């Protein structure tokens, strides 16, 4: 068996500079075909290198597979290949003439919930795979619930392995109806349902002739067309300061710029702004991006702001508009995914990283533990175990400048770090 497909020397050649980058994640039960689907996308869009495909062919042959196992294009760890499952979050990149993509192939096992949360935290879209033979199972609901908690704006339910149910419309419609009923209780802006077969490629890149009853887009068509620009928060101007630039050189005697990534809203030269937590007001005199002056900055641009007045601004401060400021406080409530072997317990003390600011925090209360399969809440649990999700209360040593996660995913999220080991122990979403 021989495959001769290669990427062009510059696979992004011809793309418009303003083409949107879509980050999406995949989730599903074990053997639902997540990695095969991603492998199919890479294969059919000719984004896999010849040496990669040759290696996959060799591994497939040694394992006795009947055909090339495209899942091996993403299951990069040796342990994953031996077990035939995804363990780590595998990131892959590809592009079409319409859009660039970053894929996060996340695990389906319950014990790897933390990996899924990590992979999905920056995603614009989630693909939840459902086996057409098995229908909606607990993992399907769990992954949809996690996508809702993470405020992923677009969720695609890909009903896979339609070839194994003889391409029947009734099998697809039954699953679609059950998922729509479940998703009615979730906070998801946009839902889509696509019948496909990752193994044969039906409705992945090319339209399937076996399912004439389906008139919707293929998966790739949907990924290319789904609008994500409107998902950005363009109302609430937020600029966490990452670095104060002062060259101290003869060429730039009086240069003082504040560098960072815009987390929300639109900032323009001449805008009146307020620096938090001090509350000092000033104006933006100039905005630089990559050494050139620009008229405006919006998320997720990385820019340098120049202010009209010489004010005290440091790393961790936030520049916002006076009439629309974020919250400043030390007493917080949040949903967290616990990522450490040692359970979270009330009164635990941790370092907290929020946007560009470090502080310390103590868990004052563990309010409830969330069952990620049913959505049920267990009030006042003793602890929160590895991969558990729950609501907690925190008290920080210094004020944080934040928004609710549902308002802004950047200023509404944080991580907790065990200072004794420097390990990240939790990812949190502020309420």
**Whole-model pTM above 0.85?**
no
Residue 49 lies in a domain: yes
Are 124 and 217 contained in the same domain? yes
Q: How many CB atoms lie within 10 A of CB 422?
A: 8
Same domain membership, residue 212 and residue 74: yes
Write down the pLDDT at residue 13. 39
Q: Indicate which CATH number applies to the domain containing 88.
A: 3.40.50.300
The reported pLDDT for the residue numbered 418 is 94
CA distance 306 to 269: 9
| pLDDT at 53 (0 to 100) | 64
Within a domain: 3: no
Q: Any residues with CB less than 8 A from the CB of 343 and at least 6 apart, and which?
A: 383, 384, 385, 386, 388
Note whether 65 and 134 are same-domain residues: yes
Residue 43: what are its φ and ψ, rounded to 5°? -70, -50
From 274, 296, 320, the end of a domain falls on 320
Q: Are residues 312 and 331 in the same domain?
A: no
Q: Do 49 and 193 lie in a common domain?
A: yes
Would you say residue 122 lies in a domain?
A: yes
pLDDT of residue 55: 63
Q: Are residues 25 and 125 in the same domain?
A: yes
pLDDT for residue 82: 46
9 domain-assigned: no
CA distance 53 to 72: 9
404 and 360 belong to one structural domain = yes
Bridge partners for 274 per DSSP: 281, 320
- Maximum C-alpha span of the chain: 75
**Any idea which residue has 């509350």 for tokens?**
279
- How high is the pLDDT of residue 140? 85
Q: How many CB atoms lie within 10 A of CB 269?
A: 17
Q: Is residue 250 part of a domain?
A: yes
Domain final residue pick, 320, 342, 359:
320
User: Is residue 142 domain-shared with residue 218, that is, in the same domain?
Assistant: yes
Domain identity same for 62 and 168 = yes
Does 257 map to a domain? yes
Q: Mind listing the pLDDT tens digit for each residue in 210-258? A: 999 999 999 999 999 999 887 888 899 999 999 999 876 656 667 889 9
First to last CA, the chain: 54
pLDDT at 75: 54
Same domain, 273 and 172: no
Range of the domain at 114: 21-231
**Residues 316 and 331 reside in one and the same domain:** no
3-state secondary structure the chain: CCCCCCCCCCCCCCCCCCCCEEEEEEEECCCCCHHHHHHHHHHHCCCCCHHHHHHHHHHHHHHCCCCCCHHHHCCCCHHHHHHCCCCCCEEEEEECCCCEEEEEECCCCHHHHHHHHHHHCCCCEEEEEEECCCCCCHHHHHHHHHHHHCCCCEEEEEEECHHHHCCCHHHHHHHHHHHHHHHCCCCCCEEEEEECECCCCECCCECCCCCCCCCCCCHHHHHHHCCCHHHCCCCCCEEECCEEECCCCCCCCCCCEEEEECCECEEECCCEEEEECCCEEEEEEEEEECCEEECEEECCCEEEEEECCCCCCCCCCEEEECCECCEEEEEEEEEEEECCCCCECCCCEEEEEECCEEEEEEEEEEEEEECCCCCCEEECCCCECCCCEEEEEEEEEEEEEECCCCCCCCCCEEEEEECCCCEEEEEEEEC
pLDDT of residue 57: 59
What's the rounded Cα separation, in Å, for the pair 44 and 33?
16
Domain boundary among 296, 320, 344: 320
Position 81 scores a pLDDT of: 40
CATH number at residue 269: 2.40.30.10
| 309: in domain | yes
User: In the chain, which stretches have pLDDT less than 50?
Assistant: 1-19, 77-87
Residue 12 lies in a domain: no
Q: What is the pLDDT of residue 286?
A: 95
The label of the residue with tokens 């607990």 reads: 138
Count the domains in the chain.
3
User: How much is the pLDDT for 86?
Assistant: 41
Question: Do both 367 and 421 map to the same domain?
Answer: yes
């Amino acid at each position: 068996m021989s495959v001769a497909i290669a990427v062009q020397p510059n696979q992004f050649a011809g793309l418009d500079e303003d083409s949107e980058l879509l980050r999406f994640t995949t989730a599903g039960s074990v053997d639902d075909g997540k990695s095969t689907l991603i492998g199919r996308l890479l294969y059919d869009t000719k984004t896999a290198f010849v040496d990669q495909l040759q290696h996959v062919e060799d591994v497939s042959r040694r394992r006795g597979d009947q055909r090339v196992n495209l899942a091996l294009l993403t299951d990069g760890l040796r342990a994953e290949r031996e077990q035939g499952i995804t363990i780590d979050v595998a990131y892959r990149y590809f592009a079409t003439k319409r859009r660039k993509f970053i894929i996060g192939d996340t695990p389906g096992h319950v014990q790897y919930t933390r990996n899924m949360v990590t992979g999905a935290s920056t995603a614009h879209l989630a693909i939840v795979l459902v086996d057409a033979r098995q229908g909606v199972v607990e993992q399907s609901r769990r992954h949809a619930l996690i996508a809702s908690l993470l405020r992923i704006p677009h969720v695609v339910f890909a009903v896979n392995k339609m070839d194994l149910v003889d391409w029947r419309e009734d099998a697809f419609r039954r699953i679609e109806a059950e998922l729509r009923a479940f998703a009615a209780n979730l906070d998801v802006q946009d839902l889509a349902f696509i019948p496909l077969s990752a193994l044969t490629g039906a409705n992945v890149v090319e339209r399937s002739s076996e399912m004439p009853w389906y008139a919707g887009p293929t998966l790739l068509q949907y990924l290319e067309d789904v609008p994500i620009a409107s998902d950005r928060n363009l109302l609430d101007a937020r600029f966490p300061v990452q670095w104060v630039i002062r060259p101290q050189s003869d060429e730039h005697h009086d240069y003082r710029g504040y560098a960072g990534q815009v987390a929300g809203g639109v900032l323009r030269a001449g805008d009146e702004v307020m620096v938090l937590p001090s509350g000092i007001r000033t104006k933006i005199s100039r905005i630089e991006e990559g050494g050139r002056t620009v008229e405006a900055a919006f998320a997720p641009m990385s820019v340098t702001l120049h202010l009209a007045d010489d004010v005290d601004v440091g790393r961790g401060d936030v520049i916002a508009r006076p009439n629309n400021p974020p919250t400043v406080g030390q007493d917080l409530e949040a949903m967290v995914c616990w990522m450490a072997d040692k359970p979270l317990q009330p009164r635990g003390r941790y370092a907290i990283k929020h946007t560009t600011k470090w502080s310390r925090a103590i868990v004052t209360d563990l309010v409830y533990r969330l069952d990620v399969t049913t959505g049920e809440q267990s009030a006042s649990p003793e602890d929160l175990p590895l991969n558990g999700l729950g609501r907690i209360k925190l008290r920080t040593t210094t004020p944080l400048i934040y928004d609710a996660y549902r308002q802004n995913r950047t200023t509404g999220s944080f991580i907790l770090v065990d200072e004794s080991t420097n390990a990240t122990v939790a990812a949190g979403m502020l309420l």
